[in-house]
Homo-oligomer: A and B are copies of this chain.
Amino acid sequence: MRLTSFTDYTLRVLIYLGAQRGEGRLATIGDIAAAYGISENHLMKVVHHLALRGYIETTRGKGGGMRLARPPREISLGGVIRDAEEDFALVECFQEGKPACSIRGPCALRKVLSQAMDAFLGVLDAQTLENLLRPESELLKIFGQRIELRRK
């Protein structure tokens, strides 16, 4: 069972922006790519998605970049993951457009799996981005070192 790497990167971008929100300058995709050692290409779509969903604000041009649009304590992890995942179709019968399973009518599995998924998302709904930003100084130190390395 896995989340998509899109969701993974979404969370990483938010952690980066959350940690450096007091730093006084906007973050660039290049910064985040260097901070995590991941490709800028992958991050473009993630950043676009986060801006569309109102999690971040972006500014174009020289000195442009992005920052969180809301305080970290107002960003629910359950919400972020619901927005980023394509679906929660745990098994085939949750997927639209698939031929219906022969026992779809009487089968109790859908209900049980839905309850399990609700429990999963319930834990994440009770957590915000703020809970991921401690110890913030350590995160900032790592990000700073990695961005410094890229500049050299």
| Chain A contacts to B: CB under 8 angstroms | 1-3, 5, 7-8, 11-12, 15, 35-37, 77, 85, 87-92, 99, 101-103, 105-109, 112-113, 115-117, 119-124, 127, 131-132, 134-135, 138-139, 142-143, 146
Question: Which chain B positions have C-beta within 8 A of A117?
Answer: 1, 120
Number of copies: 2
Question: Which chain B positions have C-beta within 8 A of A107?
Answer: 15, 132, 139
Question: Which chain B positions have C-beta within 8 A of A5?
Answer: 91-92
A119 to B126, CA, bound (A): 13
| Known pairs A99-B37, A120-B120; A112 contacts B91 (CB<8 A) | no
| Known pairs A116-B123, A146-B102; A109 contacts B1 (CB<8 A) | no
**Docked-complex contact B106 and A116, CB < 8 angstroms:** no
Determine chain A's interface SS by DSSP, over half rule.
helix
A112 to B92, CA, bound (A): 27
- Min CB–CB distance A78 → chain B (angstroms): 9
**Docked-complex contact A1 and B142, CB < 8 angstroms:** no
**Docked-complex contact A90 and B134, CB < 8 angstroms:** no
**Docked-complex contact B123 and A115, CB < 8 angstroms:** yes
- Min CB–CB distance A20 → chain B (angstroms): 12
